[in-house]
Amino acid sequence: MRLSEMLANILANAGNPLAVFDISGVLTFFLRAYITLSLGFFSVTKTFEFTRLKLLDFTVHFKRPAFLGTLSGDTLTLATGSSAHNRLNGVVTDVAETIHVSGTGGSLKLWSDQFGRSVGNAQTFSGVKH
């Protein structure tokens, strides 16, 4: 993951630094006993599990901002229409997209509240000619 992607995840989740991780876990209770029989040169251990209970199973879901465009050389391609799969996060099919573009001098910013990327978390591209 690139630093810009990590920052985008933090910004999309109200500054929460944990948003750069996929967080999940399981809390389990178990009751187990074992017996070891030591016979001088060797030993034998037998384990018995009496119960195992899943007490908690959780996943923390964070917003993952979409990638709204890709730069290849000096050509910027928006992730719309047949290129919608390039968004990677959120809705990755061809829908009625609204993507905002602003900038001058070959430096452009892309954002779309529809895809979890606010103006404050806009993607920035430099060297754009097409």
Rounded to the nearest angstrom, the gap between the alpha carbon of residue 113 and the centroid of all alpha carbons in its chain is: 17
For residue 5, pLDDT over 70 is answered with: yes
**What per-residue confidence (pLDDT) applies to 17?**
92
**What per-residue confidence (pLDDT) applies to 26?**
97
- Token couple for 126: 């430099």
**What per-residue confidence (pLDDT) applies to 115?**
87
pLDDT, tens digit, 9 for 90 and up, residues 67-124: 899 999 999 999 998 888 888 887 788 888 899 999 988 899 999 988 888 898 899 9
**What per-residue confidence (pLDDT) applies to 116?**
85
**What per-residue confidence (pLDDT) applies to 25?**
97
pLDDT, tens digit, 9 for 90 and up, residues 21-57: 999 999 999 999 999 999 889 999 999 999 999 999 9
**What per-residue confidence (pLDDT) applies to 50?**
96
Domain edges within the chain: 64-125
CA distance 25 to 77: 38
- If one compares 65 and 50, the residue with the highest pLDDT of the two is 50
Which value, in Å, is the radius of gyration of the alpha carbons in the chain?
A: 25
Task: Give Cβ neighbours of residue 19 (< 8 Å, ≥ 6 apart).
Answer: 9, 10, 12, 13, 62, 63
Residue 86 CB-density burial (10 A; 0-12 exposed, 13-18 middle, 19+ buried): middle
Phi/psi region, residue 86 (left: phi>0; alpha: psi -120 to 50; beta: rest), is: alpha
Alpha helices in 18-95 (DSSP H): none
**What per-residue confidence (pLDDT) applies to 66?**
86
